[in-house]
Amino acid sequence: MVRAAVLPAVGAPLEITEIQLPDPGPGQVRVRLAAAGVCHSDLSLSNGTMRVPVPAVLGHEGAGTVVAVGEGVTHVAPGDGVVLNWAPACGHCPACARGEVWLCANALNGAADVHARTADGTELHPGLNVAAFAEETVVAAPCVLPLPAGVPLADAALLGCAVLTGYGAVHHSARVRQGESVAVFGVGGVGLATLQSARIAGASTIVAVDVSPEKEELARAAGATHYVVASEDTSREIRALTGKQGVDVAVECVGRAVSIRAAWDSTRRGGRTTVVGIGGKDQQVTFNALEIFHWGRTLSGCVYGNCDPAADLPVLAEHVRAGRLDLSALVTERIALDGIPAAFENMLAGKGGRALVVF
| CA distance linking residue 208 with residue 212, whole number of Å | 11
Q: Is the peptide bond before 22 cis (omega within 30 degrees of 0)?
A: no
pLDDT tens column, 309-344: 999 999 999 999 999 999 999 999 999 999 999 999
Provide DSSP, 263-300: HHHHEEEEEEEEE-----TT------HHHHHHH--EEE
Q: Which of 273, 322, 342 is nearest to 301 (CA)?
A: 273
Using CA atoms, how far apart are residues 208 and 353, in angstroms rounded to an integer?
13
CA distances to 91, 191, 193, 246 from 220, rounded to whole Å, are 40, 12, 12, 20
Query: From CA 339, how far away is CA 16, in angstroms rounded?
Result: 10
Whole-number pLDDT of residue 161: 95
CA dist 68 → 71, 129, 136, 147, 302 (Å) = 10, 18, 11, 16, 34
Q: Which of 217, 84, 70, 229 is nearest to 144 (CA)?
A: 84
Please give the pLDDT value at position 12.
Answer: 94
pLDDT at 260: 98
116 and 44 in contact (C-beta within 8 Å)?
no
Instruction: Supply the pLDDT for residue 9.
Output: 95
Verdict on whether the full-model pTM lies above 0.85: yes
CA dihedral 100, 102, 104, 108 (to 10 degrees): 180
- CA–CA dist 38, 14 (Å, integer): 13
Which of these, 199, 164, 167, lies nearest to 182 by C-alpha position? 199
Determine the pLDDT at residue 280. Answer: 87
Contact 190, 198 (CB under 8 A): no
pLDDT at 51: 87
CB 70 within 8 A of CB 32: no
* Per-residue confidence (pLDDT) for residue 162, from 0 to 100: 96
Judged by DSSP in three states, 332 sits in strand
Residue numbers in the chain where pLDDT is lower than 50: none
Compute the distance between CA of residue 357 and CA of residue 340 in angstroms, rounded to an integer. Answer: 8
If we measure between CA atoms, which residue out of 276, 331, 267 comes closest to residue 300?
A: 276
> How far from each other are the two terminal CA atoms of the chain, in whole angstroms?
15
Q: What is the pLDDT of residue 34?
A: 98
Spatial CA neighbour of 104 closest among 72, 83, 129, 124:
129
Amino acid at 98: R
